[in-house]
Amino acid sequence: MKAYTSAHWGIREVFDAGGGELRLENFAGDPDPTPIGLDQHGDRVEGVRVRRPSVRRSWLEKGPGASPELRGRDPFVEVEWDEALDLVAAELQRVRDVHGNEAIFGGSYGWSSAGRFHHAQSQVHRFLNSIGGYVRHLNSYSLGAARVMMSRIIAPMESLMANHTSWDVMAQNTRLFVAFGGVPWKNAQISAGGIARHRVRPGLKALREAGIRIVNIGPVGDNLEADGVEWIRLRPNTDTALMLAIAWTLVDEGLADRAFLERYCVGFDRFEAYVMGRSDGQPRDPQWAESITGVPAATIAALARDMAATRTMVNMAWSLQRASHGEQPCWMLVTLAAMLGQIGLPGGGFGFGYGATNSLGSDERLLSGPTLPQGANPVSAFIPVARIADMLLQPGGSFAYDGGVHTYPDIRMVYWAGGNPYHHHQDLNRLVKAWEKPETIVVHEQYWTATAKRADIVLPATISMERDDIGYSTREGHLVAMKRVKAPLAEARDDYDIFADLAGRLGAPGYTEGLTSREWLQRLYEESRGKMAGHGVSLPDFETFWKTDLIDLGEHSRPVVMLEEFRNDPAANPLATPSGRIEIFSETIEGFGLDDCPGHAAWLEPHEWLGQVQPGDTRLHLISDQPQRRLHSQLDAASHSLEGKVAGREPVYLNPQDAAARGIADGDIVELSNERGRCLAGVILSEDIMPGVARLATGAWYDPDPDTGLEKHGNPNVLTLDVGTSSFAQGSVAQTCLVEVSGPVRDAPQVTAFDPPPFVVRGS
């Protein structure tokens, strides 16, 4: 037997290894495959699977709202599927009858499946819409600030992400590639619907072979791996100040492209008055920036001249806007690229996230793939995604967002399918308190994550290998017939089947529309087939596709130049902004009257940063980036992730200078702490981390000691701030965080993150 399955980290060929065992291999056509996910099945990960419907004992015995402080401590009782579904349906009906649908939060945030039908986020939203709606979230933790800001000043992020200048165009035309925050290939191991061909490392290699100069700016040196890269060390969260000083130099030395600014932009005069100091008496010159960023003034000025002298691509990592005032580097990136006058030219302009996900920089055709319709949501209430703890703790309170003022709903029930808030949310000790507010929490899960352990009802869901689906991702150039290659483990069921049974109990036939899973796959495929035909791409019918297993769309690829049509004719191809042009100054944003987000890009001091660290203060700036050996927290229990741990814990990377000052050695267990929390991690020393900085990746399964609260496994989100980027976008500020690092820690407590919860027999 040979079949294909698809996951976020790539297409996998599945072989029968004999004796009922399966073997996964990388797709043969992938030039740079990743080992993530080759161990997504087997005894190690199956040991943490949810096997049967389970109900928290206090909730089962006493009803909704019983002992919420025991979530995460209470044992579970395994029940039959019919009873579990009856309990969930009855609770949904009770909350709707007593409090209305606006008391239900449809929590789903995560890369739950590469399949386009069995995608938990789509399924739970479709189901909740079919029974009257739910409170939704907007945007993402990855791009909370950028999605709001970029749509106001140049274009929606979805459009920008789908139309980045392709690697082949840059290799032929770019001469200088300047990357704020690097181009971290580890992040680009993934794409939402799977990957046929990984592009980032081959793309960077092609740039270097073409003789292109690459400059990496930031606190980490190994997030841009290519020969001959220049590393400019920069204090975290100060990129905007550095870009302002580059802009000052361009104006001062007459290097700004005034013709481009006049034709394609609005409001440069207002920004120019600020950057040159005419509006407030403070020029944002290289000497000013040196005191903030730590980058020598001469280095800043020289880089500005070099950028103006040749075809330059300016890239910004997504991590920069996951910080205090994260809107500002987004705006400054666009402003700086506009001043260089190369937006819309082959190999010039800006990139927002080369290295963030594999599809950015792809030359594959932009085609419409299979998409499950979610229906209309009658409930208008929403929250920015990173404000979930605020919502739960402050029902009826107000919050600002995108120029408006809104009210937090009073949530009585959380229904979560796809994702793990105890991975991606900040200040987890605060979330634990907020998590006690709902009367009922229902979770669909494959694994006993921290979220599942803190639910009231847990329904076991299948993994991708246990169901039929279609793999497709924008700009990835493939369609995969993801055939079921193994039976569901124990009593796991597809999310669709779970929701179908609930819809039947609640009288909501619109959820299934009378279709089976297989009929949905055929419908979605044929709809996509018709759309692609309109773009000159011919696909076989569904049955032929299902027998073919894999369709490679690579023959339809073509070079991409972002915003080329706008540059060629801005009148015929206006931007979706009030002016139709790039808004270097925004009258709309200025009109909101926000102290923390003015009408143009500006330097605003972060909540926490190294500029606050005075002599005698031993705090380090903590960077909590994406992990190299998994996607977020997925498959943390798998062998590939575990092999990257230090003493069974997530590694924290320290500069040898900082480690020596604290008496810490490579391989030690240390404690990271601040006023928000404490966690343990294993040390790796690295000269690629600048002094004053620590790096601890996200994704270690949350594992607090029940008595002391000490997180034992290395989850940085017990330390990070749970505040919004600003009252404009309310994004996550995970990268704004100061910590103490102490150790070595002797007799560290055992890691129990992968232990299932306790179970009891009903009535015991």
Closest of 668, 645, 647 to residue 656, by C-alpha: 668
109 is catalytic: yes
Contact 409, 137 (CB under 8 A): no
Q: Which of 4, 9, 59, 111 is catalytic?
A: 111
**Is 615:692 a contact under the CB 8 Å cutoff?**
no
CA distance 738 to 736: 7
Q: Helices 495-506 & 81-99, crossing angle to 10 degrees? A: 60
- Which three-class secondary structure state does DSSP give residue 284? coil
Contact 263, 570 (CB under 8 A): yes
- 330, 225, 301, 326: which is closest to 628 by C-alpha? 225
Strands of 230-233's sheet, edge to edge? 230-233, 213-218, 176-180, 312-316, 349-352
Q: 477 is written with which tokens? A: 């150039």
Whats the size of the chain, residue-wise? 764
Are the C-beta atoms of residues 620 and 674 closer than 8 Å to each other? Answer: no
Residue 552 Cα to chain centre, angstroms: 27
In the set 4, 59, 109, 435, the catalytic residue is 109
Map residue 194 onto helix, strand or coil. coil
592 burial (CB, 10 Å; 0-12 / 13-18 / 19+) is middle
Residue 690 corresponds to which amino acid?
M
Beta-strand (E) ranges in 181-297? 213-218, 230-233, 265-266
For 23-50, what is the HEC assignment? Answer: EEEECCCCCCCCCCCCCCCCHHHHCCEC
- Beta bridge partners, 407, equal 398
CA–CA distance, 572 with 565 (Å, rounded to integer): 9
CB atoms within 10 A of CB 2: 10
Closest CA to 314 of 341, 295, 285: 341
Q: Which amino acid is at 141?
A: Y
Name the H helices within 210-264: 239-252, 258-264
Q: Which residues are catalytic?
A: 109, 111
